[in-house]
Amino acid sequence: MKLLVGLGNPGAKYARNRHNIGFMAVDRIAEDQGFAPWRSKFQAELTEGRLGTEKVILLKPQTFMNLSGQSVGEAMRFYKLDSTDVIVFHDEIDLAPGKVRLKSGGGHAGHNGLRSIHQHIGPHYDRVRLGVGHPGDKNKVSGYVLSDFAKADHDWLDDEMRGISDGAAQLAQDEGPKFLNAVAARVAPARPSTPAPKPVAKPAPEPEPEDDRSPLQRLADRFK
């Protein structure tokens, strides 16, 4: 069994924030893959289903980002899972918008949701890092991630969510490269290869008519 956790803040006010891209990811998986209705448990919204051969719990902590670990820890212990069975979807300012990367273990890099999860289950869990870009000034990061995606982001964001849903079964079965390939196929689909057009053969010039005049006649004709 796998526990897939989306990070975000509860409430309509935050629903389209960059910080809530983790919620968006698990919502899309649940919708596309026929999971049960969401219900409240472990200070979170929870749903169950299957991805491929794997039974999966999807979790959206409702404790606000900074306390996400409380919910994740409760759910992990209830289902008798190891931290290595946990996969967390979260926003990543150090990746460009539309970029998706996988990471196993490591630090929290100042992300408050990950910091809280570290405190409750340790660092040995997997993360799906969802790039949202950087505002360019570290003092603007908080306001940036707590603001909504721009309209210009909607197309790539929808493609990314579709790709995450497409590859969710591979992710749950520890096939990370196949998961990333599924995302890439949506976000940056391969262009169809079209053969170069064949050069059009130019028609051969028509032969000039044979001049059967005598040299004297040709000279006379030039002065007419």
Q: Of the residues 19, 90, 111, 118, which is catalytic?
A: 19
Buried-state track 174-211, b at ≥16 Cβ within 10 A, e below 16? eebeebbebbbebbeeeeeeeeeeeeeeeeeeeeeeee
Side chain identity at residue 117, one-letter code: I
19 in active site: yes
Q: Is the pTM of this model over 0.85?
A: no
Kindly state the helix (H) or strand (E) to which residue 144 belongs, with its residue range.
helix 141-145
pLDDT in tens, 59-115: 999 999 999 999 999 999 999 999 999 999 999 999 999 999 999 888 888 898 999
**Domains of the chain as residue ranges with CATH:** 2-187 (3.40.50.1470)
**Residue range 47-55: average pLDDT?**
94
Q: Is pLDDT of 205 > 90?
A: no
Q: What is the mean pLDDT of the chain?
A: 89
